[in-house]
Amino acid sequence: MASSSNKRTRIQGINRGIILEAALEVFSTYGFRGSTIDQIAEKAGMSKPNLLYYFPRKEDIYVTVLEDTLEDWLTPFRHIDPEGDPVEELRKYIALKMELSASKPESSRLFANEILHGAPAIQDFLKTNLKRLVDEKAGVILRWIDEGRLAPVDPYHLIFMIWATTQHYADFDVQIRAILPEQTVRPAFFDDATDSILSILLNGIKPR
């Protein structure tokens, strides 16, 4: 939670953190419109006016939570190393994304919900920061392909595919749990999923 601390007073630091944590849970479950300030306040253990003392509008809470989680999600992407071994770099990236889906599914769902509804709060961010970052990494992948170290695939679609697959396990969790045989959803489940994805994806892009 990036912007929760380093605030004016001690109490503000603490309470903003509590609020943002509660808000992430609520917003990711019910969406922006479906969540109420009362709900968040209750989960945060404070009165509604008190919560509004820290974040004057519902939207302020939402945007703050969203921005905080965006960074979490982009960090592994930033760390793809142009100097590393292509297959190994992508393996690391996919594994990290899967770990995130396992450990922070709420963040993934919050983000998915925002995009699904037209990204009203982060359209700008997508078109500038995110686009720049993706263009850069797509360039790296393209270079790898030119050097014959990856099969010739469209780098953008490869990136989308990795995002889609890894985040699916957080976003569509309910569906997956409904379908999979009960005993499959055990602690090692995410490891199995990661292995399967890696097997298919990496074999799909190894130079041939």
Q: Hey, what are 47's tokens?
A: 């009165």
- Give the C-alpha separation, 207 to 30, whole Å: 44
Crossing angle of helices 58-78 and 105-116, rounded to 10°: 110
78 binds, among DNA, its own copies, none (CB under 5 to 8 A by kind): none
138, 155 Cβ separation under 8 angstroms:
yes
* Residue 88 touches which of DNA, its own copies, none (Cβ within 5-8 Å per kind): none
Q: List the one residue from 3, 168, 185, 190 that touches its own copies (CB under 8 A).
A: 168
79 binds, among DNA, its own copies, none (CB under 5 to 8 A by kind): none
- Are 122 and 32 within 8 A, CB to CB? no
Spell out, one character per residue from 30 to 49, where the chain touches its own copies: x when CB under 8 A holds, - when not. xxxxx---------------
Give min distance, CB of 34 to DNA, in A.
Answer: 8
DSSP tally for the chain: helices H, then strands E = 11, 0
- Number of amino acids touching its own copies (CB under 8 A): 56
Site for its own copies in 177-206 (CB under 8 A): 178-180, 184, 192-193, 196-197, 199-205
DSSP designation for 35: -
